Amino acid sequence: DADVTQTPRNRITKTGKRIMLECSQTKGHDRMYWYRQDPGLGLRLIYYSFDVKDINKGEISDGYSVSRQAQAKFSLSLESAIPNQTALYFCATSDAGEQTQYFGPGTRLLVL
């Protein structure tokens, strides 16, 4: 969905490096989410935010941190990347009170 954009689309980094993945949306949604997708697995929730002042851990938050800089921006950081964080990362948004989530195109991350 072009209303949700993610940068970069692909990233290769080395073990121990700090990296940031960014998500922006023009849908005007209050809620934003970060998911991780591994081959053969469904999407797993890392963090979610209901508004700028609200940040919540998801199922697999260890090793990750987030920042909600504005209603439209939600970034995911890996403080010290490790190889098992190699995955596809998706940002999603939803309107307050709605359960339908709309996803960005994803970031493919490789940690060497």
Instruction: Identify which of residues 12 and 82 has a Cβ nearer to other proteins in the complex.
Output: 12
Structure tokens at 11: 């990233």
- Smallest gap from residue 69 Cβ to other proteins (A): 21
Structure tokens at 92: 């999603």
- Smallest gap from residue 70 Cβ to other proteins (A): 20
Instruction: Identify which of residues 84 and 100 has a Cβ nearer to other proteins in the complex.
Output: 100
What are phi and psi for residue 68, nearest 5 degrees?
-105, 95
Helix (H) or strand (E) holding 5: strand 4-7
Q: Write out the residues near other proteins by the rule CB under 8 A.
A: 1, 4, 31, 40-45, 48, 50, 58-59, 90, 94, 99-106
How far apart CA 40 and CA 64 sit, in angstroms, is 22
